[in-house]
Structure 1
Amino acid sequence: MLHLINYHFGAYVAEHGQMQGLLVVCFSITIIFILKNGCRYAALYYLAPLRNGVVRELRQNIFERMLQLPLSYFSEKRKGDIIARMTTDVNEVEWSIMNTLESTFRDPLTILFFFIAMLLLSPQLTLFVLILLPVMGLVIGRIGKTLKRKSGKAQDQLGLLLSIIEESLSGLRIIKAFNAERYQKAKFSRENRAHSQLLTSVLNRRELSSPLSEVLAIFVVAALLWYGGRLVI
């Protein structure tokens, strides 16, 4: 396909001149990027109502379910944890839905296009890539599982912090009456420090995923260059 494009473009340049060919290249690049960004905006425009609708229904169902729960549930669960479930956790679900919807419609077509192009260029290199990809997926998957586990702990800790804040505001008169300010400060400081440490751990692992993926990609590229060079030389 690339040879066909080069052939027709070379014939066009030979017939109309280099300046005309340069104008065609500039015009083509401009049109491609306009279409790319226009399609991206259109996709986000039509996905936004779907995403927000799912989140709205999820929050509504959680609230209705909360009203139906027995009082014993609220004696066991902290109010701050329930509030965190309806706010922070729902926001996390919102972004997960957005990423899932984007990847569901975009990634399969992209993978299929590049896979066909790779097969046309070199079936041997394609097979070599398919052997290396599971190794990258295994390493990145382990980091993702650790990140998910740490994020869950951080969310639970945030719920505990919100519970302490809610309890302190609700019982502020009692706290002042018994001079328990120092106890509440120490309690909040302890849980706040624990949440900060968990959040730092989550951020460190999240920031590790991008450079690690890039390093692994460089190893794959180097391996492809070595293997492809052996096929050519």
Structure 2
Amino acid sequence: MATDNTASRVAVVTGASSGIGAATARALAANGYRVALLARRGDRITALAEELANGSIAIAADVTDRDSLVAAADRVGAELGGTDVLVNNAGVMLLGPFGSDQREDHRRMVEVNLLGALTATEVFLDQLKDGGGDIVNISSVAGRSARAGNGVYAATKWGLNGWSESLRQELLPDVRVTLIEPGVVATELPGHITHAQTREGVQALYDKAEVSAGDIAEIIAFILSRPRHLAINEVLIRPAGQL
């Protein structure tokens, strides 16, 4: 249902309860979008929808549960008229040395970071194709550079990168696909790491982060504001001091 009138556009943001997702919702709402906020933490997105106060809605949904995404798409269609932008932001970063004790973390990252984005896109694709739209996939610098201790996380992001490029080619020119690859950004991601030693080291790095979720959100809003004949396919964003 995409139109040239930004004030009438609708964005769906997964993982909207915190970090880049919440910041992107705020940035897009400031640009006139109504935002469907999707996340498992319903209380947070309900509060954010009330903060935005512009017709945005909160929908408790889990990207690993296709039925909840289908129900979310139905609500977006019924209440907001359809989807112009899908931001696949939901993700987890459960770093740690590779081993059987991390098995559940590995599965969780694959299910959320990669399969979650695929499922959300599949569910919302018909709405996005209805007149053109945008898909923004939030990857990571880890999708370009694997390091000791981030192997499975990197695998999910490398997979997301490869799929995004294939999807871009399949959907052009009607639906634009943009890949965002942030480096270290001040978010709560390190707090989810279950491997204690890894969590402490990563948290120390993130505590020094100079790039905010709002910085990333501003870039996303800029990309989406470009005229339809122009597509920004891939953006790598690092703190100026990050190797």
Tell me the TM-score normalized by structure 2.
0.27
The structure with higher relative contact order (CA 8 Å, sep 6+) is 1
Higher helix share: 1
Which of the pair has more CA radius of gyration?
1
Tell me the TM-score normalized by structure 1.
0.28
